[in-house]
Amino acid sequence: MQSTNLLIILSDQHNPRLLRCAGHSLVRTPNLDQLASSGTRFSAAYTNCPICVPARASLATGRYVHQIRFWDNAIAYDGSVPSWGHRLIERGHRVTSIGKLHYVSSDPARNGFSEEILPMHLADGDGDVVGLIRDELVVRKGAAKLGPEAGPGESHYTAYDRSIADKACRWLELEAPRQGDQPWVLYVGFVCPHPPLIAPPEFFEQYTNCDIPMPDMYAEHERPRHPYIEILRKARPYDAGFTSPAMVQRAIAAYMGLVSFLDHNVGQVLDALQRTGLCGSTRVIYSSDHGENLGARGLWAKSTLYEDSAGIPLILSGPGVPAGQVIDDPVSLVDVFPTALDCVGIKPSAADAGLPGSSLIEGALRGRMPDRTVLSEYHAVASPSGSFMIRRGRFKYIHYCGYAPMLFDLQSDPYERCDLAGIGAFRSELDACEAQLRAIVDPEATDRLAHSDQAAMIERLGGKTAIMQRGAVRHTPPPGVASTRIPVERAP
């Protein structure tokens, strides 16, 4: 197989359903659609954790969150576990990052890069420390601003993404030609469509005259009342700020505008790849760190293991990758590690032999991925205990420590409207899924470990009271922008 350069484009919080090539009838994503048409789209791709910091640590290391213990948005990747970038640099390859990483801080050699350009890392050096508190219900009152502020405009994130696209284009034009025959890797980390749901007017206006449907299961009587989900809903009351169906539709229009804005920036980078004549020697991966609930079930943002939040888009294109192919076998972010090595022609070291991922390039060439279990887990903000998800064929199993599980048949119920866990006819499938999960991870032991690590961090930071007085990070700021925090309170 031909060794090539690799361009990794990662967005933030892109719901996998919102791609025209994935069947969405309204959203406009011509550049990502073209990328999928020229390559292979993986239709059942998952994050390994539906929140930024742990997801990005899994992508970097090729390991599950419970294996590396970067649990939440305050305990971030610090280079202590080797990344695919470290492996490539060891073999003489240049590995450049531009944009959002969300590690502890900027230290290229430690983080597995030759250089970091415009990096975004933990806010104030320690991130969202309020999320460490999980043994009581902490309410983020500022979450209710999501709906009222949604609409057309500019934000720090849209300005940042424009700068990232510009720097990426300049790198491809000026730096890539200097690398000679040694394959390079360029990682480009955009922030959109992450909230705030404020879309540049020219992209928001693409959806102002659209008949935007209300989110699935949005009505109060339709929402699932699982106790774990109810705790998440109370701790981050995003939906409480929405005062009318029109406001909900405006927020969705803004999110679609941000997706189209992201697509535009991706197009800028892909155009630069084309202009420089690098398309024939560069493979491209597009994905996102996690999805976005976008109002489904009355939930917004991420943190759940439903498809909208735990699912991600994933596209691979470039030399040797079959065009127009869709692979339905489950994949996840840990597959990027072996894919990066495979792309530039490096064999995995003995230390990496037990990694759970598989090369997406090999899968694309075969037309299918290996038969294996794909895992996502969550131990972060607003979660009273750990939650774990696996795919077993057509079935998806969600295990909540201390709460009833969920089971969905994604073939007949892709929107997860019918939880089968309490139906006797599916008991054997439920038991088989739990056994399969436990073959990978001990949920209860992992839950205890996460709580222990977080409690130790709370103690180092001066205790719960000091943390709550600081408030919660609302949005991690781009370089040069001060962080803003929102007040929190203990639930009555």
Mean pLDDT within 13-34: 98
> In a 3-state reduction of DSSP, which class is residue 5?
strand
Q: What percent of the chain has pLDDT over 70?
A: 100
**62-111: pLDDT as tens digits:** 999 999 999 999 999 999 999 999 999 999 999 999 999 999 999 999 99
Angle, CA of 68, 69 and 71, to the nearest 5°: 130
Residue 374: pLDDT over 80: yes
CB 168 within 8 A of CB 7: no
Structural tokens at position 450: 């996460």
Contacts of 469 (CB under 8 A, 6+ apart): none
In the numeric block, the tokens 């064929």 are attached to 393
426: nearest Cα among 407, 404, 400? 407
Report yes or no on 393 lying in a domain.
Answer: no
Report yes or no on 439 lying in a domain.
Answer: no
What span, in angstroms and rounded, lies between the C-alpha atoms of 91 and 340?
13
Dihedral (CA of 163, 164, 165, 166) sign: positive
How many other C-beta atoms are found inside a 10 Å radius of the C-beta of residue 25?
7
For the entire predicted model, the pTM comes to 0.98
**Which band of pLDDT confidence, cut at 50, 70 and 90, is reported for residue 353?**
confident
- Amino acid symbol at 411: Q
185 is in which domain, residue-wise? Answer: 5-370
What span, in angstroms and rounded, lies between the C-alpha atoms of 313 and 284?
13
Report yes or no on 43 lying in a domain.
Answer: yes
Report yes or no on 347 lying in a domain.
Answer: yes
What span, in angstroms and rounded, lies between the C-alpha atoms of 258 and 264?
10
DSSP class of residue 176? G
**245-272: pLDDT as tens digits:** 999 999 999 999 999 999 999 999 999 9
> In a 3-state reduction of DSSP, which class is residue 322?
coil
What span, in angstroms and rounded, lies between the C-alpha atoms of 395 and 414?
10
Question: Domain with 271 in it: what CATH number?
Answer: 3.40.720.10
Report yes or no on 181 lying in a domain.
Answer: yes
**288-329: pLDDT as tens digits:** 999 999 999 999 999 999 999 999 999 999 999 999 999 999
Q: In the chain, how many domains are there? A: 1
What span, in angstroms and rounded, lies between the C-alpha atoms of 32 and 25?
15
Report yes or no on 288 lying in a domain.
Answer: yes
How many other C-beta atoms are found inside a 10 Å radius of the C-beta of residue 359?
23
Residue 332: pLDDT over 80: yes
How many other C-beta atoms are found inside a 10 Å radius of the C-beta of residue 23?
8
Residue 486: pLDDT over 90: no
The pLDDT, as a whole number, for residue 492 is 76
Pairing of strands 485-486, 472-473: antiparallel
What span, in angstroms and rounded, lies between the C-alpha atoms of 304 and 302?
6
The pLDDT, as a whole number, for residue 362 is 97
CB 21 within 8 A of CB 30: no
> Which residue(s) pair with 440 in the sheet?
none
The pLDDT, as a whole number, for residue 181 is 86
Structural tokens at position 444: 């209860």
The pLDDT, as a whole number, for residue 212 is 97
**Ranges of H-type helices in 279-367:** 307-310, 336-344, 360-366
Cis ω for the linkage preceding 200 (within 30 of 0)? no
The pLDDT, as a whole number, for residue 392 is 87
User: Concatenated DSSP letters for 381-429?
Assistant: TT-SS-EEEEEETTEEEEEETTS--EEEETTT-TT-----TT-GGGHHH
Residue 180: pLDDT over 90: no
Report yes or no on 216 lying in a domain.
Answer: yes
**383-406: pLDDT as tens digits:** 999 999 999 899 999 999 999 999
Report yes or no on 481 lying in a domain.
Answer: no
